[in-house]
Amino acid sequence: MALTKAQRKRIPKRDFVFPRERKYPIDTRKRGQYALSLSALHGKQLGGAEGRALIDKVYGAVLRKYPSLKNSDSNTMRAYLKRKQKGRRSPASLTRPSAPSRRSYARANPALEGVSGRRRSMTLNRLGSMTKAELREWLEFRGFAVYDDETKAELKDTARQDLLDEMGVSASDWRRRKNPSGARLVDEETGKAVRLPYKTKSHRGDPITVTGFTEPHKRGSTGRISTKGGREYFPGVAGLKIVGHRFDASPNPAKKRRKKVRSLFATPETWEDLQQHIDGTSSPANGMLVALAVINFEALQSGHPEMRSNLFPRPESEEQLEAIVSSAAQGRTKKEKGEIILVANLSRNYAQNYFQEIDAPRSNPRRRNPRRRKGRREVMVKKAFALRKELGSNMSPQTIMRNPERAIEIYEKRLARHTR
């Protein structure tokens, strides 16, 4: 029954249900019957108002040309004739009132009829929390053909569209209510808004087409973007971000840039902070060499020569240190020389703070030294076990180890009794 391209081209436009697209040819009675069967299948797959509109269009065109086909005993034909007798127009052609609030969408609980004639209630909130198996079962109840390779996002979109059609709400109204805060999708690097569908590449280099997004639902969330294949990703995967949502608290970009420049000259508090600066230079190897040479020199100046590393240069004076820095910057561009000098200054600040903390007096000089405390405990444990052996006590070793001071006190009282 399938037509070749040449055969389809020979059929006049008036013999198609959709002349512009040349779909559903009805030039013969047999092809008219095939158009009825095919439109019934396609209408069931589309579902909702869109599916019924397709069936009404095709069935009306075929029955006008071949009126005897209305005696067919199919369920789709009976439903079409019933709608026609009641004088209903297709819901897709009805003028819709202004869209209600999103909350009323979510709380609407229409009882939808399935292919078996039974009715079940459903809400948008319940659709959003359904598993893939539950979505598949619901769509099959509604009469949709569900395939194994369809993703959960595709099933959810189909079920949501079907429910919105039954409620008489267009998808555009729903999307407008779904994004009440005016959030938009922008490029991370340029900050410019992107127009959907947006073709780009993922962080792995795979081509993707972004078709929509869901704004963050809480602070700390980045939201999700949806692609043409029905998958969802974090916006950063495609080099994008969502701004303008209700949880967006991004500072002024100019202030952010000034803050970044100020933090560049701040003293690194840990070695990881200093290493971040080194890794950000054009030549991390030279930056690391200069940083460790400066730290070795500051260790000597602070009176900690034992902390100097033998694997890297160990300058003994300022002149030797300057020679190491200048040799590392030799043959470099102006920008790279500035980076090496910055790393040297940051390394000096880091090393001076580090050795000052080591040499600083304790805030509570009366506090016992942990090492001395450990040695004192060892002495007390030995003394407690010696008294236990001398007195022939049955005290368990675990009790002595738990509190050696208490064990010694008990043994000394026993010794005092024996001496009396």
Q: What pLDDT was estimated at residue 266?
A: 56
What tens digit of pLDDT does each residue of 206-245 get?
888 888 888 887 777 888 888 887 788 899 888 898 888 7
Q: What pLDDT was estimated at residue 253?
A: 46
Q: What pLDDT was estimated at residue 115?
A: 75
The mean per-residue pLDDT over the stretch 96-109 comes to 46
What tens digit of pLDDT does each residue of 357-388 get?
777 665 555 555 544 444 678 888 888 998 88
Q: What is the mean pLDDT of the chain?
A: 77
Range from 116-125, 265-274, 408-417 that averages highest in pLDDT: 408-417
Could you tell me the CA-to-CA distances from 345 to 277, 282, 317 in Å, in that order?
11, 17, 16
The mean per-residue pLDDT over the stretch 68-87 comes to 80
Checking if the pLDDT of 105 tops 60, the result is no
Q: What pLDDT was estimated at residue 361?
A: 62
Range from 55-69, 102-116, 259-273, 368-382 that averages highest in pLDDT: 55-69
DSSP conformation letters of 376-408? HHHHHHHHHHHHHHHHT----HHHHHH-HHHHH
Q: What pLDDT was estimated at residue 245?
A: 76
Angle at 280 between CA 277 and CA 282, to 5 degrees: 125
Report which of residues 283 and 295 the model is more confident about.
295
Amino acid (1-letter code) at residue 223? G
The mean per-residue pLDDT over the stretch 310-338 comes to 80
Report which of residues 294 and 281 the model is more confident about.
294
Predicted TM-score of the model (pTM): 0.28
What tens digit of pLDDT does each residue of 12-37 get?
888 888 888 888 888 888 888 888 88
Q: What pLDDT was estimated at residue 107?
A: 44
Contact assessment for residue 196 and residue 211, using Cβ atoms and an 8 Å cutoff:
yes
Contact assessment for residue 185 and residue 213, using Cβ atoms and an 8 Å cutoff:
yes
Could you tell me the CA-to-CA distances from 101 to 106, 157, 351 in Å, in that order?
9, 20, 61
Amino acid (1-letter code) at residue 275? Q
Q: What pLDDT was estimated at residue 257?
A: 45
Q: What pLDDT was estimated at residue 267?
A: 65
Q: What pLDDT was estimated at residue 171?
A: 60
Percent of the chain with pLDDT over 90: 0
Report which of residues 323 and 128 the model is more confident about.
323
Report which of residues 213 and 99 the model is more confident about.
213
